[in-house]
Structure 1
């Protein structure tokens, strides 16, 4: 894997700055785990019967960003990318998907999520979570998405090791 270009989160800072930094760190970690791999390597599955792949994780995290920022704070009717229904599992079915396609969607959703957060007056901004039928705060959304990245970056560690033996960070 190439040099680590991630920016470490601050050791001290306000709540918003800390949440933002950790979320961006985990976003950069997912990208780093995929760096230098071919489309075929990104589509390599873990161990049977699992169909989990690095490319599937990128697609899934694009859907997570979309569901928790775009759908909650901008348009609760916005369609998902890889599913006509709200089916997060569909993103894992990579078929002939490519790095270019998956990363373009993921990066666009990340940028939109950053805009939502940066334009919000406070972490108490309320948005409507259509799957739950209730309002949630930006704070809750940022923590939830951060936890999603943490969990899936753990999967990415194992997947990357299986692809080419690269471990760490």
Structure 2
């Protein structure tokens, strides 16, 4: 991937972890989550703040920085909220209410990209810290306003689905920003 001057880079060099491809199901899932987390950051690697905020596609809400804000919310909503049953501790980003009544992150939020990146890393670490506790019984049912009652396995798979979808978006955004393409 192309690099910006070192002093301006928000996400430094990312080394994606090896995935566990066989063994206990929870180890496979945990390693795949970490792989997708690192893959998302790899798509943001080496860019300065103005590139992370860039809207290279005809969308008013799709930027790499916006995806980073969204994914910290995914981590906290699903791990802290759905699985741990606690009130998620979200960073106070600016939001707006869509025509459909949903709350979404406002791309004009002035939070510096370095703070968004640090918050995203904290959200991932918080999820890793509660993982063992919330996955002790993968068949445990958890209330889910979006899908109805689901088990822990479904929630974990849904988080991977969120990452897979948004890593695809990040791949397209990154290529549109500076031509860098990955796998």
Q: Name the TM-score class by shorter chain.
A: 0.7 to 0.9
- Whole-Å Cα distance in 1 between the matches of residues 176 and 60 of structure 2? 13
SS at match of 2:104: helix
Taking the aligned partners of 1:112 and 1:163, their CA distance within structure 2 comes to 31
TM superposition shift of 1:135: 4.1
Which blocks of at least 5 consecutive residues in structure 1 are unaligned?
Answer: none
Q: Which residue of 2 aligns with 1:19?
A: 29
Question: Residue in 2 aligned with 1:163?
Answer: 177
1:42-70 per-position Cα deviation (integer Å, ceiling 9, x unaligned): 00013224431000000000011111111
Contact map agreement 1:55 1:99 (CA 8 A) in 2: yes
Structure having the larger proportion of residues in helix: 1
| Candidates 119, 132, 142, aligned match of 2:133 | 119
Q: Runs of 5+ in structure 2 lacking a partner?
A: 4-12
Residues 133 and 51 of structure 1: is their aligned pair in 2 closer, same or farther, counting only changes over 3 Å? closer
Aligned length: 167
* Mapped contact 2:139–2:152 kept (Cα < 8 A): yes
How does the TM-score come out when normalised to structure 2?
Answer: 0.78
Equivalence for 2:6: none
Please give the alpha-carbon distance, in whole angstroms, between the structure 2 residues aligned to 1:4 and 1:106: 14
Q: CA RMSD in A?
A: 2.6
Look up the SS of the partner of 2:27 in the other structure.
Answer: helix
